[in-house]
């Protein structure tokens, strides 16, 4: 067989094809194309007896016995390195084909790593395909790590609090539903054994002091005089004990919010101007058409859509508020994307209503409700929070009467809404109660002058107090 092989190689047959035919003669189940594509791997799959034949064969062809014979390393080098690496990595990570790895997914263009926050499953639990087993906390959102296939969670290879990157292995999943025993029975058994063995230990401990007391002499040594505690001076503060304090590490989202807000304070020349709005007409509009609005559009009519439409009108009248400083230039944005600040249990997020100037009241309400729901559930994506040319923050939902909001960089201004409070107002020469709201505009004074800021806030006041202006564009 070896002489025939040598003849085939000499007359110009490729080493890969010759090797494939030879392996077919040794092992009938081996295909030639498979050997040609992955020769090195196929050799490793042979039985020990067959490896001896291949070893002899490789010994014959390596020195280049005759003209036209290509060395075996040239065959291996012709195989793409990506194929070899992919095959070897898959074989290593899968073992016998029963184990698969759960890895950190791609987290976004601007996110390079995250913190492994929570494990949602325990070793030994059954998991379905694409079922979340852990959560990664990033600077902006929380991302789920899902099981690639159905099976049993065998073990975690990372710890909570670890910093992980996309592609990092988090856990190992067994597809066979076998070989993974839950840890609870073993722990329970060990606890039972420890309970049974503990009483004798206590007895021994009790006997030892007793014997020691019997052997001790009757005369007791005099105790040294105790040092009185130092007296506190009148100026020294009394601090609470450390046991009454808790130190908890900041989440990545909270650290990111803190960094951005401090950068905003250090970068912008922030100034805030105030005004007050009579909410009577907007509240009457909402009361008159709320049932018909819900019946037609399937969403409730709130105050946010009215303020978004008012902000759009004000930005169109004062485009400098929609602009931003970039180095020595001013960038004027010909689009209006309104960011809505939403408070969540994990921190503040700011989803964006795209092209708000092209939306009606119903579209704005549906978009805001959808984004707020995602933000609360922690399922909002990076793209839904990217960008934005102007921000609205509604502190009134928490009862805030007045505040000075901080600019959301790289924007140039932010509108603050507050709670609606009945106050006595002079209307037509008479003092009457009116539902009033304070509104605040914080702006970058490097770019926006006080005149433009006051006109901007005045336009919002006029539109909210008389929504008919939106129809007539006056």
Residues assigned a catalytic role = 445, 449
CB burial of residue 196 (10 Å; 0-12, 13-18, 19+): exposed
DSSP bridge pairs for 394: 417
**Alpha helix locations (H) across 126-215?**
183-215
3 state DSSP class of 366: helix
- Among 390, 324, 314, smallest CA distance to 354 is for 390
Q: How far is residue 301's CA from residue 298's CA, in Å, rounded to a whole number?
A: 10
3 state DSSP class of 337: coil
3 state DSSP class of 136: strand
DSSP bridge pairs for 391: 339, 414
3 state DSSP class of 247: coil
Is residue 380 within 8 A of residue 368, CB to CB? The reply is no
CA–CA distance from 286 to each of 87, 298, 362, 466, 474 (Å)? 64, 15, 12, 13, 21
What are the strands, taking DSSP E only, across 321-388?
324-326, 329-331, 338-340, 342-344, 347-349, 352-353
**Alpha helix locations (H) across 234-302?**
252-267, 280-297
CA–CA distance from 450 to each of 291, 317, 323 (Å)? 41, 15, 15
């Amino acid at each position: 067989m070896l002489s025939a092989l040598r003849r085939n190689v000499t007359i110009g047959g490729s080493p890969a094809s010759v090797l494939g035919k030879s392996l077919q003669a040794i092992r009938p189940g081996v295909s030639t194309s498979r050997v040609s594509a992955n020769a090195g791997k196929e050799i490793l799959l042979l039985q020990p007896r067959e490896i001896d034949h291949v070893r002899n064969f490789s010994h014959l062809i390596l020195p280049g016995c005759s003209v036209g014979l290509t060395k075996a390393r040239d065959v291996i080098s012709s195989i793409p390195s990506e194929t070899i690496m992919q095959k070897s990595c898959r074989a290593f990570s899968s073992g016998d084909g029963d184990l698969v790895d759960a890895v950190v997914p791609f987290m976004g263009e601007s996110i390079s790593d995250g913190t492994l926050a929570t494990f949602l499953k325990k070793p030994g639990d059954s998991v379905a395909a694409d079922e979340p087993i852990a959560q990664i906390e990033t600077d902006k959102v929380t991302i789920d790590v899902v099981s690639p296939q159905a099976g049993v969670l065998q073990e975690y290879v990372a710890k909570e609090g670890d910093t992980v990157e996309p592609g990092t292995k988090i856990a190992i999943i067994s597809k066979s539903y076998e070989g993974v025993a839950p840890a609870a029975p073993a722990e329970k058994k060990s606890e039972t054994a420890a309970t049974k063995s503990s009483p004798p230990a206590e007895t021994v401990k009790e006997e030892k002091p007793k014997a020691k007391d019997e052997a001790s002499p009757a005369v007791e040594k005099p105790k040294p005089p105790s040092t009185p505690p130092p007296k506190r001076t009148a100026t020294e503060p009394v601090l609470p004990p450390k046991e009454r304090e808790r130190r908890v590490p900041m989440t990545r989202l909270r650290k990111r919010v803190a960094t951005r807000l401090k950068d905003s304070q250090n970068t912008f020349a922030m100034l805030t101007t105030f005004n007050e709005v009579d909410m009577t007409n907007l509240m009457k509009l909402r009361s008159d058409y709320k049932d018909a609005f819900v019946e037609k559009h399937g969403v409730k009519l709130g105050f946010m859509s009215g303020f978004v439409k008012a902000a759009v009108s004000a930005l169109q009248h004062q485009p400098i508020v929609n602009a931003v400083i970039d180095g020595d230039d001013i960038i004027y944005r010909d689009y209006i994307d309104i960011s809505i600040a939403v408070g969540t249990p994990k921190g503040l997020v700011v989803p964006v209503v795209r092209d708000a100037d092209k939306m009606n009241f119903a579209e704005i309400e549906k978009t805001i409700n959808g984004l707020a729901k995602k933000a609360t559930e922690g399922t909002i994506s990076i793209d839904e929070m990217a960008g934005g040319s102007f921000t609205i923050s509604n502190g009134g939902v928490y009862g805030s009467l007045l505040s000075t909001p901080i600019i959301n960089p790289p924007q140039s201004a932010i509108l603050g809404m507050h709670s609606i409070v009945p106050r006595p107002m002079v209307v037509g020469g008479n003092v009457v109660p009116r539902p009033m709201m304070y509104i605040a505009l914080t702006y970058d004074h490097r770019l926006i002058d006080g005149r433009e800021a006051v006109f901007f806030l005045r336009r919002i006041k006029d539109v909210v107090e008389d929504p008919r202006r939106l129809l007539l564009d006056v």
